[in-house]
A and B are shown apart, each in its own frame.
Chain A
């Protein structure tokens, strides 16, 4: 099963039990092998009383769409990696291997829901409807943002990890305030606020940051409509998961008093279903949920990283066998939900998207320092104005000097 609340397994991690003393906690641990899985590596469906109904409610078109999205993101990832290798991006953060965790969770969200990503949520960005080319502005040195977060309810990437989990909790607390204010307003003039929830993305590495702890304290204390979505990809750059935690992260949920779900993060159907369940839980006023999606960072941490220095090829190969796209293709073909024509079309769409991303990226060839002066503050600021005036004068002095030279004048 894998839900911390519903089916904890008693693993004796210390090799001894303290007996039946009152007030002594002996941990009941959800183990590594336990997780919600609806589609195994062979592409065979497995039933779960709680979560299967979420998949049964989907049309074949939607299920095919999950595969399509995952394939599009993988193609995008390859294109961005190539752009970095060709010197067009300063850095790239590959997402290969984590497509199911991101498309499954992203597709479970409603338009009014809000996502707070790390810097690797390219799949969630696609699910939220962003133009993927916008993600590359950050990595090309054009913008430290790159898109309007309010357009798709997809916040900017956060690079100092874990900070975004607190922003997500605050945003979710704001949703609760909006709902309370709407309730208080006169019934005739009441603003209609649809219940919405927030998804806070983070990883196994940032789970060790204090902000993740504080965000879980605030979220549970204030009953925030929030889903903590942890992609446990097993590596924080070069440091293995075991250094962050000796037991699966889902077990932390109980300590904060919220439900936890451990899910096969390479099974897009399971991720979609558990995220739907968690979002419904959050939207209905029952408070936050922690999801731990077990997945693997097949690629390097970034294009500046070299995984051969710290991990074994055999481990990567073992995880490649659990690839989220392969199992989904097997399932779609076996069930007759998709044929060769579909897969060829997906490949064609991916290439088309990649060409668009490349073209849009290469067209971004400069940024404007004056726009940076203009956005430090929202209101006028005398020091910024003074420094900009100096800069303009300084720049103009080169033009004056050039004009003098072209006129044959000498200083």
Chain B
């Protein structure tokens, strides 16, 4: 066991990938000598060379488009999009090209491109640097989307993403980059597409992923002090979603709260609410309740605390769920 931050764990995961898979390499803006704007790739260019850690031109469509071509030639490109809000110039390459190459070739081609995107708010940043666009990509068949919430997952999930034959987007919770945790580099990792029950409970279930996992755990602890037993599930994978784990939990607790930073309308929480209402109709004691961003572009930093789900908003939702 080693203790490290999430950022360092991703760095170590990338280091292991570059060492183990000669076809893998990193490409992105400012990831070489600078080590990325969050220093996630720090030291990798010095260790593996400019050939394996490529500073690209400032062009997101170009990064993903060329990565597709490199993957068709047998390579495993690991692309960094510098910030969540910068992914949209590459939207066509990701959703129309990358996501469809396997099916439109009738399974003859695959493009195992990995795309790392720091996402989410809470860092007091400027416009386009705090967004959560994961639902836009989860809505696209052909992509897989995962989001680690702790250092151990961060270390393993990037390696598992590179090993996967499908394109994988890894949404990295940027405000948790400096969150420390234990990393077990020896034991076999768990399936990246399966959810994990982080805390057992019997009165309600909170389902979340990425940056809000610590918030959900804190809310569950606060509820415990009031005598309420809350189960917390870290989804880990946003596409596919491990509905079985959520279903088993809700059949036990009867109440479901879904929380993410992204706007609730058309979001991941709504999708889970709909599926669970089908699977657990006779177990539900209350409607599923979503706690997320409002239907507005991510607001200015001075008011983001009102936008982001926090412990109080989760406890308020819990009160509502328990009132049924």
Residues of A participating in the B interface, judged by any CB pair closer than 8 Å = 116, 143-145, 148-150, 155-156, 158, 160, 163, 165-175, 177-178, 180-181, 210-211, 214-215, 217-218, 221, 371-372, 374-379, 381-384
Contact = CB atoms under 8 A, between A and B. Distances in A.
A163 B104 contact: no
B62 A167 contact: no
A169 B66 CA distance: 6
A339 to B, nearest CB: 43
Contact of B62 (A116, A144, A166, A379): A166
Interface string B43-70: 0000000010000110101101111111
A320 B71 CA distance: 42
9 contacts: A163-B97, A169-B66, A170-B72, A171-B72, A174-B74, A218-B56, A376-B103, A379-B165, A383-B239
B180 interface: no
A167 B242 CA distance: 33
Contact of A214 (B57, B108, B144): B57
Contacts of B110: 378
B39 interface: no
**Residue in A144, A168, A171, A172 with the greatest tally of chain B CB atoms within 10 Å:** A171
Interface string B286-319: 0000000000000000000000000000000000
A76 B201 CA distance: 68
A218 B66 contact: yes
Contacts of B112: 378
Nearest to A374: B107
A166 B68 contact: yes
A163 B106 contact: no
A174 B75 contact: yes
Nearest to A146: B106
A211 B240 contact: no
A166 B92 CA distance: 12
A383 B69 contact: no
Looking at chain A's contact residues, is the secondary structure mostly helix, strand, loop, or mixed? helix
A374 B105 CA distance: 12
A171 B64 CA distance: 12
B61 A210 contact: yes
Contacts of B189: none
Contacts of A143: 104, 106
B185 interface: no
Interface in B64-106: 64-75, 77, 89, 92-93, 96-97, 100, 102-106
B69 A156 contact: no
Nearest to A371: B106
The 9 A-B pairs with the shortest beta carbon distances in the complex, nearest first, are A170-B69, A166-B65, A174-B73, A170-B66, A214-B62, A378-B165, A144-B104, A171-B69, A167-B69
A387 B96 CA distance: 22
A221 B69 contact: no
Contacts of B108: 145, 148-150
A200 to B, nearest CB: 10
Contacts of B103: 144, 372, 375-376
A135 B64 CA distance: 27
Nearest to B57: A217
Given A166-B93, A221-B57, A144 B73 contact: no
Contacts of B322: none
B126 interface: no
Given A156-B105, A174-B70, A376-B141, 6 more contacts: A166-B64, A170-B71, A214-B61, A374-B107, A377-B144, A382-B242
Given A163-B96, A166-B62, A170-B68, A180 B73 contact: no
Given A167-B72, A174-B73, A215 B106 contact: no
Nearest to B143: A377
B231 interface: no
A91 to B, nearest CB: 16
A364 to B, nearest CB: 13
Nearest to A165: B65
Contacts of B93: 163, 166, 211
A173 to B, nearest CB: 6
B109 interface: yes
Interface centre among A148, A156, A167, A175 (most CB of B within 10 A): A167
Contact of A376 (B62, B102, B241): B102
Contacts of B218: none
A160 B100 CA distance: 12
Given A156-B105, A383-B241, A171 B62 contact: no
A170 B96 CA distance: 17
Given A218-B56, A378-B166, A170 B65 contact: yes
A116 B69 CA distance: 10
B75 A145 contact: no
A215 to B, nearest CB: 7
A169 B89 CA distance: 18
Nearest to A180: B51
Nearest to A382: B240
Contacts of A378: 102, 107, 110, 112, 165-166
B254 interface: no
B166 A173 contact: no
Contacts of B133: none
Output the residue of B51, B89, B92, B104 with the most chain A CB within 10 A.
B104
B67 A170 contact: yes
Contacts of A168: 69
Nearest to A168: B69
B135 to A, nearest CB: 15
A156 B74 CA distance: 17
Nearest to B107: A375
A370 B316 CA distance: 46
B123 interface: no
B159 to A, nearest CB: 15
A163 B65 CA distance: 7
Centre residue among A165, A172, A379, A383 by max chain B CB count within 10 A = A379
Given A144-B104, A171-B69, A376 B61 contact: no
A116 to B, nearest CB: 8
In this complex, the member of A143, A374, A377, A379 whose beta carbon has the largest number of chain B beta carbons within 10 angstroms is A377
Contacts of B68: 166-167, 170
A177 B22 CA distance: 11
